[in-house]
Amino acid sequence: MLKRVNRVALIGTGFVGSSYAFALLNQGITEELVLIDLNKEKAEGDAMDLNHGLPFAPSRTKIWYGDYKECGEADLVVITAGANQKPGETRLDLVEKNTKIFKGIVEEIMASGFDGIFLVATNPVDILTYAVWKFSGLPKERVIGSGTILDTARFRFLLGDYFDVDTRNVHAYIIGEHGDTELPVWSHADIAGTSISEWTNNKDGFNQEDLDQLFLNVRDAAYHIIERKGATYYGIAMGLVRLTKAILENENSVLTVSAYLDGEYGQKDIYIGVPAVVNRRGVRQIVELDLNEEEKAKFKNSVQVLKKTMEPVFKHF
Ligand SMILES: NC(=O)c1ccc[n+]([C@@H]2O[C@H](COP(=O)([O-])OP(=O)(O)OC[C@H]3O[C@@H](n4cnc5c(N)ncnc54)[C@H](O)[C@@H]3O)[C@@H](O)[C@H]2O)c1
pLDDT digit string, tens, across residues 246-283 = 999 999 999 999 999 999 999 999 999 999 999 999 99
Cα dist from 148 to 39, 57, 65, 96, 118, whole Å: 28, 29, 29, 21, 16
Q: Do residues 175 and 275 lie in contact, with contact meaning Cβ atoms separated by under 8 Å?
A: yes
Residues with CB under 6 A from ligand 1: 11-17, 37-39, 42, 80-82, 84-85, 101, 105, 121-123, 125, 146, 150, 178, 231-233, 236
109 with 240, same domain: the answer is no
38 with 125, same domain: the answer is yes
Q: Does the structure show a pLDDT above 80 at 2? A: no
93 with 61, same domain: the answer is yes
Domain with 295 in it: 148-315
The per-residue DSSP string of 272-291 comes to EEEEEEEETTEEEEE-----
Q: How far apart are CA 223 and CA 232, in angstroms?
A: 9
249 with 210, same domain: the answer is yes
Beta strand 268-279 with 32-36: parallel, antiparallel or unpaired? unpaired
293 with 222, same domain: the answer is yes
Q: How far apart are CA 313 and CA 167, in angstroms?
A: 39
Q: 193: domain CATH number?
A: 3.90.110.10
Q: How far apart are CA 7 and CA 33, in angstroms?
A: 6
Nearest CA to ligand 1 atom 8: 122
Last-in-domain residue among 145, 176, 196: 145
Q: Do residues 57 and 30 lie in contact, with contact meaning Cβ atoms separated by under 8 Å?
A: no
Q: Do residues 262 and 140 lie in contact, with contact meaning Cβ atoms separated by under 8 Å?
A: yes
Q: For a ligand 1 pocket test, name from 13, 37, 106, 218 the mutation site with the most ligand atoms within 8 angstroms of its C-beta.
A: 37
168 with 121, same domain: the answer is no
77 with 127, same domain: the answer is yes
139 with 73, same domain: the answer is yes
245 located within any domain: yes
Last-in-domain residue among 90, 112, 145: 145
1 located within any domain: no
Beta strands in the chain (DSSP E): 7-11, 32-36, 62-65, 76-79, 117-120, 143-145, 170-171, 174-175, 183-184, 190-191, 194-195, 253-262, 268-279, 282-286
Number of domains into which the chain is organized: 2
- Length of the chain, in residues: 317
Q: How far apart are CA 94 and CA 124, in angstroms?
A: 6
161 with 65, same domain: the answer is no
Q: How far apart are CA 126 and CA 249, in angstroms?
A: 24
Catalytic residue among 52, 178, 188, 224: 178
- pTM here is 0.96
Last-in-domain residue among 145, 161, 189: 145
200 with 252, same domain: the answer is yes
254 located within any domain: yes
Mean pLDDT for the chain?
Answer: 95
Instruction: Please indicate whether residue 178 is annotated as part of the active site.
Output: yes
Provide the pLDDT for residue 294.
Answer: 98
Q: Does the structure show a pLDDT above 60 at 1? A: no
92-141: pLDDT as tens digits: 677 888 999 999 999 999 999 999 999 999 999 999 999 999 999 999 99
111 with 180, same domain: the answer is no
Q: How far apart are CA 19 and CA 16, in angstroms?
A: 5
Q: 122: domain CATH number?
A: 3.40.50.720
208 with 286, same domain: the answer is yes
